[in-house]
Structure formats: structure tokens, C-alpha cells
């Protein structure tokens, strides 16, 4: 846990695989504790304090609640799943959270009109590029595709967009992205396309001329994964919350993210399950300096 960055990625991307589930390494402590007690080994108990202390240092604060600052707006991120059988009900559930910005991924041609109809009364502005979309209470302009397609994927794959949102705090660049999926194979953790797409997204954000940026999306890994470094290295420090979003039936990892540049994410929380295999996440965002 303490030295995950030195685990190499050269063989099967083992470093990234480890980092995708880093908090769960702490389970070694309760597993080994009964064995140490059964052996009546004081030495074993003392040595168990080390991984326990490391876990507490890295993740213990995530268990504590408290005031983390006043939010100006709320952003909502949700991979709605292309197999979602109830898009209208999903959209209605998202509206109940009352966010100012909603980012959706895995929009299908058949479900898109249902999302548009359900969200239109509360979100008069929206933009869609390929299978990702953005709904906003603020006017949107300069909408364009963000090309994050890896070279090995066929044409027509479109999972990135950018728009200007005109807010009371000025113009803000809002990005929505859905990075390629990863797979665990016999050869290891296959994240090549995801990493390439993260590099393209990072380059787009680096070239962004507006100071304030809000990025919402499904990145198919956690912020600890070094494969996302081209993106995470450019964003403001994140609020530290577990808010596991995948899989919805038993969440073990947060692969959905809301990040900012020159703004502050005050808190992140999950919302109740919809018809998707992901849970929606909502984040408070402070835009004022």
C-alpha cells in the first residue's frame, strides 16, 4: 500500500491493477488478525500494526464526515449503460439530485430521445457527441468533439466532448469523457487503449485556454491508477471519498469521476442505483476563488 508506485507496469500492467483496488489491500489486516491471536503471537500482532497504520494514513480520513466547504454548484456523473431498460426512470432519478450539470455515457440512439425528453424541463441546454452527453442549467456554447479514440479502435467511436458553460462565476470549460474499458486476462491487466485515451484527453486539457475546467466521466479506473496520470496530474487535488460506483450490485471501486482545475471538489457521494451497472456520483464544486 505504501509503495504501490514502485510495482512495475512492464509485465501485465500489474502496477495499474494493484492501484485499481488499492484500498482493499487493507483486508489483509482482519484476515491475519485471528491467525495471530490463535498463535498467541505478540510479535505477529505488533507487525500487523504496520499495515493497519499505513491503511489508516492513506484511507482512514475517508471514513470521517465533516464540513468540507460550501459548494457553488453540483455536478453529476453517470454511465447509464447501453443495456438500461428504463432510461426515462433513470433520468427522473438523476433530476431529483438537483445538480447543475449532468454528464451521461453509453447513450444509445434509441435511448437518447427518452433522456432528452425527461431532462429538458429542468435542463434546457444540452450537447451530445457520439455516446456521451452533457445537460446543463447554464447556457452552453463552443461545443465540439474531443478526439480520445485510440488508434486501434474502428472509426465512429466517439466518447469525448467539450463545451463552454456560461455560469455566474464566468465561462467554464466542461469536458465529458468515457475512456475505453480494461480487461483482466491471463497475460495480465490489459489497459493499453485506456492509457492511450487518457493521454489524448490529458493533451486536450493541457491545451485548454479557459482557466476553470470541470471534467466528468467514466475513466475505467481509480485516481490511484498511474495510467490516468496524464489527466489527474493536471487537475486540482480531489476530495477524498470512497464513493464506490462500480459494479452497482456490490461496488468495490470508483471508476466514475468528477475532477476540476482551478476549482475545488468539496465532496463526492454516490446516488441510489438506477437501471445501470454503475451507480451515479454527485460532487459539490466550489468555483469562487
- 92 and 29 within one domain: no
- Which whole number is the average pLDDT over 33-61? 79
* pLDDT given for residue 68 in this prediction: 61
- 156 and 30 within one domain: no
Tell me the whole-structure pTM to 2 decimals: 0.83
Total count of residues recorded for the chain: 289
- 77 and 50 within one domain: no
- 20 and 121 within one domain: no
Cα distance between the two ends of the chain: 35
Strands 188-190 and 101-105: unpaired
DSSP string for residues in 51-110: HHHHHHHHHGGGG--------SEEEEEEE--TT-S-HHHHHHHHHTT--SEEEEES--TT
- Which whole number is the average pLDDT over 206-211? 98
Q: Are 246 and 29 in contact (CB under 8 A)?
A: no
Q: DSSP character for 287?
A: -
- 91 and 30 within one domain: no
Q: Is residue 68 part of a domain?
A: no
- 166 and 32 within one domain: no
* pLDDT given for residue 249 in this prediction: 95
CA separation for the pair 227, 219 (Å, rounded): 10
**Does residue 66 have a pLDDT over 80?**
no
Least confident of 12-21, 94-103, 271-280: 12-21
Q: Is residue 47 part of a domain?
A: yes
Average pLDDT along the chain: 90
Extract long-range pairs of 27-36: CB within 8 Å, 24+ residues apart. Answer: 29/55
* 278 or 224, higher pLDDT: 278
* pLDDT given for residue 187 in this prediction: 56
Band (pLDDT 50/70/90 cuts) for residue 56 is confident
Q: Is residue 231 part of a domain?
A: yes
- Which whole number is the average pLDDT over 65-93? 90
- 146 and 11 within one domain: no
- Which whole number is the average pLDDT over 223-231? 92
* Predicted confidence (pLDDT) per residue in 236-272, tens digit: 976 667 799 999 999 988 999 999 999 999 999 999 9
- 78 and 53 within one domain: no
Range of the domain at 129: 73-286
The domain total for the chain is: 2
Give Cα separations from 31 to 2, 26, 59, 62 (angstroms): 19, 9, 18, 21
**Does residue 29 have a pLDDT over 60?**
yes
Band (pLDDT 50/70/90 cuts) for residue 85 is very high
Amino acid at each position: 500500500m505504501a509503495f504501490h508506485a514502485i510495482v512495475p507496469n512492464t509485465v501485465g500492467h500489474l502496477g495499474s491493477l494493484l492501484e485499481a483496488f488499492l484500498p482493499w489491500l487493507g483486508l489483509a489486516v482482519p484476515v491475519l488478525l485471528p491467525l495471530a491471536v490463535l498463535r498467541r503471537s505478540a510479535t505477529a500482532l505488533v507487525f500487523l500494526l504496520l499495515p493497519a497504520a499505513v491503511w489508516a494514513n492513506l484511507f482512514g480520513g475517508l471514513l470521517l464526515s465533516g464540513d468540507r466547504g460550501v459548494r457553488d454548484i453540483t455536478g453529476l456523473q453517470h454511465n447509464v449503460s447501453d443495456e438500461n431498460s428504463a432510461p426515462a426512470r433513470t433520468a427522473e432519478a438523476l433530476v431529483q439530485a438537483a445538480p447543475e450539470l449532468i454528464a451521461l455515457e453509453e447513450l444509445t440512439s434509441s435511448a437518447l430521445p427518452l433522456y432528452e425528453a425527461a431532462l429538458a424541463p429542468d435542463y434546457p441546454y444540452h450537447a451530445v457527441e457520439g455516446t456521451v452527453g452533457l445537460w446543463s442549467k447554464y447556457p452552453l456554447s463552443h461545443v465540439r468533439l474531443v478526439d480520445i479514440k485510440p488508434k486501434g479502435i474502428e472509426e465512429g467511436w466517439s466518447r469525448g466532448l467539450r463545451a463552454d458553460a456560461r455560469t455566474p462565476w464566468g465561462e467554464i470549460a466542461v469536458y465529458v469523457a468515457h475512456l475505453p474499458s480494461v480487461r483482466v486476462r491471463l497475460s495480465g491487466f490489459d489497459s493499453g487503449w485506456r492509457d492511450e485515451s487518457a493521454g489524448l484527453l490529458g493533451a486536450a486539457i493541457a491545451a485548454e485556454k479557459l482557466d476553470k475546467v470541470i471534467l466528468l466521466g467514466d475513466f475505467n479506473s481509480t485516481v490511484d491508477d498511474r495510467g490516468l496520470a496524464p489527466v489527474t496530474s493536471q487537475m486540482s487535488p480531489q476530495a477524498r471519498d470512497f464513493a464506490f460506483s462500480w459494479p452497482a450490485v456490490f461496488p468495490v471501486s470508483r471508476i466514475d469521476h468528477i475532477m476540476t482545475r482551478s476549482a475545488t471538489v468539496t465532496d463526492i457521494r454516490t446516488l441510489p442505483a438506477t437501471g445501470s451497472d454503475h451507480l451515479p456520483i454527485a460532487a459539490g464544486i466550489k468555483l469562487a476563488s
